[in-house]
Amino acid sequence: VSFAEHMFRVDDGELQAAMKPVSCPGHLQLARRMALSHRDLPLRMSELGLVHRNEAKGSMHGLFRLRQFTQDDGHVLCSSDQVEGEVARFCASLSRLYGAFGFDRVRAAFSSRPEKRLGDDRLWDKAEQALMEAAKGAGLECSLSPGEGAFYGPKLEFILDDRAGRSWQCGTIQLDFFLPERFGVTYADRDGSRRAPVMLHRAILGSLERFIGILLEHSRGRLPPWLAPEQVSVLPVGPEQSADAERILEVLRQEGLRVDVHPGDQTLSARVRQAHQSSVPFALVVGEREVQEGSVVLREGKRQRSIRLEHAVEELRQRCAEPL
Ligand code: ZN
C-alpha cells in the first residue's frame, strides 16, 4: 500500500498499468495457481526481481538510491507452526552470506506491533515470539524497536556496520498473516479444510546495486579474494622467466583462478606496487632461482615468502574459493 504513491503508472484511457515496485503480488499469484496442499509447505519462492520506484529526484544518491534496482526478493508460504524453523533457516543463511562479503558484525532490530494493526493480539503474541526466538536461536544481537512493525506483522531488520562505522540496514524478514488471504491463496490442510498460509517476506542483500555500493565502501575497493576481478598477478623478474610465468598462469587458470601475467617494461618493484594498488590480493614472483628450485615468491600485501609452486597453487585455490 505504501508503495502506491511511488509507482510509475501508465494510463492511456484504456489501459492502466504500472511498473512493479515489489515482487509479493506476483509470487502470490503464482501460489494461487498451484492449488496448494499442506504437503507443499513450506513453499519458498525467490527471484532477483527488477523493481521500479518513483523516488523524489533530490533523494537519488549514487548506487545507494535508484529508481530502478534489483532486489533479492523472496517469500515463504508456510503453516503457523513452521514459522520459527523458517526464520531460523533464514537467519543462518544471512549470517553466512554477510560473512562471505567480510561483514562480521551483524545486528538485528526487532520491530513489534504498531498501534494501528490488523488481526487479534493472540496472533501477534505468537508471531512476535516466533520471530524473537528464531533471532536468539541464530545467535543474533537484537535491539528492540517497539511499535515499529508493519501493520500486517512484526519484522526483523538486519544492520551491517562498515569499516567507517556507518550502519546500513540490508536484510529483513517480515511476518504477514493477511496478504495471502487477500490474494485468495489457500492450502488444503490435513483435515481437508482450506486455510490461508502465513507469508514471510524476506531479503538478504536488499537492493543489489545498493549492496555493491556498501561493499565497495566497506572494503575500500579491496574485495575479498573470491570476488576480486583479478585474483593473482604473475610477475616474471625478467624476460628469461616469461615462459615459466606463462606456464604458471596456465596451471592457475586450470584451477579456475582469475590470473594475469604482467611482464611489462617496468622494474619488478614497480609492478609489485602496481598489483597492490590495483587491489589484486596475491602476486607470484618468478625469478631465476625460483625456476631452478621449482618455487615462487608469494606476495600478499607487504608480506612475502618463498614457497614450492604446487603448495602455492593449492593455497591460492583454497583462499580464492567461493565461500558459499
Ligand atoms: Zn514481499
Known catalytic residue: 292? no
**What pLDDT sits at residue 3?**
66
Where b means 16+ CB within 10 Å and e means fewer, 258-293 reads ebebbeeeeeeeebbebbbeeebbbbbbbbeebbee
Q: Which of 27, 113, 117, 155 is catalytic?
A: 155
Query: What pLDDT was estimated at residue 185?
Result: 97
**What confidence category does residue 19 fall into, taking pLDDT thresholds of 50, 70 and 90?**
very high
Confidence of residue 324 (pLDDT cuts 50, 70, 90): confident
Task: Decide if 201 is catalytic.
Answer: yes
Q: What percent of the chain has pLDDT over 90?
A: 69
Considering the candidates 24, 91, 170, 320, report the single residue annotated as catalytic.
24
pLDDT band with cut points at 50, 70 and 90 for residue 152: confident
Residue 1 has pLDDT above 70, yes or no: no
Where does residue 62 rank: exposed (0-12), middle (13-18), buried (19+ CB within 10 A)?
exposed
Cα-to-centroid distance, 105 and ligand 1 (Å)? 26
- The pLDDT tens digits for 185-227 are 999 999 999 999 999 999 999 999 999 999 999 999 999 999 9
Of 27, 72, 73, 113, catalytic: 73
Q: Which of 7-21, 48-62, 118-132, 196-210 has the highest mean pLDDT?
A: 196-210
What the block records as the C-alpha cell of 321 is 574459493
User: For the residues 11-28, what does the mean pLDDT come to?
Assistant: 92
Tell me the per-residue pLDDT of 256-269, one tens digit each, with 9 for 90 and over: 999 999 997 899 99
**Order of strands across the sheet that contains 303-308:** 259-261, 232-236, 282-286, 295-300, 303-308
Within 8 A by CB and 6+ apart from 10, the residues are 16, 17, 18
Residue 313 C-alpha cell reads as 597453487
Quote the ligand 1 centre to 155 CA distance (angstroms): 12
Q: Give the per-residue pLDDT at 309.
A: 96
Q: How far is the CA of 81 from the centre of ligand 1 (A)?
A: 20
* CB-based contact 59:73 (threshold 8 Å): no
Residue type, 89: R
- pLDDT tens digit string along 290-302? 999 999 999 998 8
Work out the mean pLDDT of the chain and round it to a whole number. Answer: 92
**Considering the chain, what percentage of its residues have pLDDT values greater than 70?**
99
* Residue 53 known to be catalytic: yes
CA of 175 to the centre of ligand 1 (A): 10
Which H or E run contains 126? helix 121-137
Residue in 184, 159, 185, 183 with CA at minimum distance from that of residue 172: 159
Q: What is the dihedral of CA 239, 245, 247, 250, to 10 degrees?
A: -130
75 is catalytic: yes
- Separation of 100 CA from ligand 1 center, angstroms? 25
Distance 11 CA to ligand 1 centre (A): 25
Task: Say if strands 16-18 and 9-11 run parallel, antiparallel, or are unpaired.
Answer: antiparallel
45 CA → ligand 1 middle, Å: 10
Of 201, 210, 262, 271, catalytic: 201
Q: Length of the chain in residues, anyone?
A: 324
Catalytic residue status for 142:
no
The pLDDT score that the predictor gives to residue 92 is 85
How far apart (Å, rounded) are the C-alpha atoms in residues 53 and 55?
6
pTM of the model: 0.86
CA atoms within 13 A on the CB side of 182: 10
Q: How close is the Cα of 202 to the center of ligand 1, in Å? A: 7
Residue 100 is predicted with a pLDDT of 92
Q: What is the C-alpha to C-alpha distance for residues 169 and 206, in angstroms, rounded to an integer?
A: 9
Q: What is the mean pLDDT of residues 95-111?
A: 89
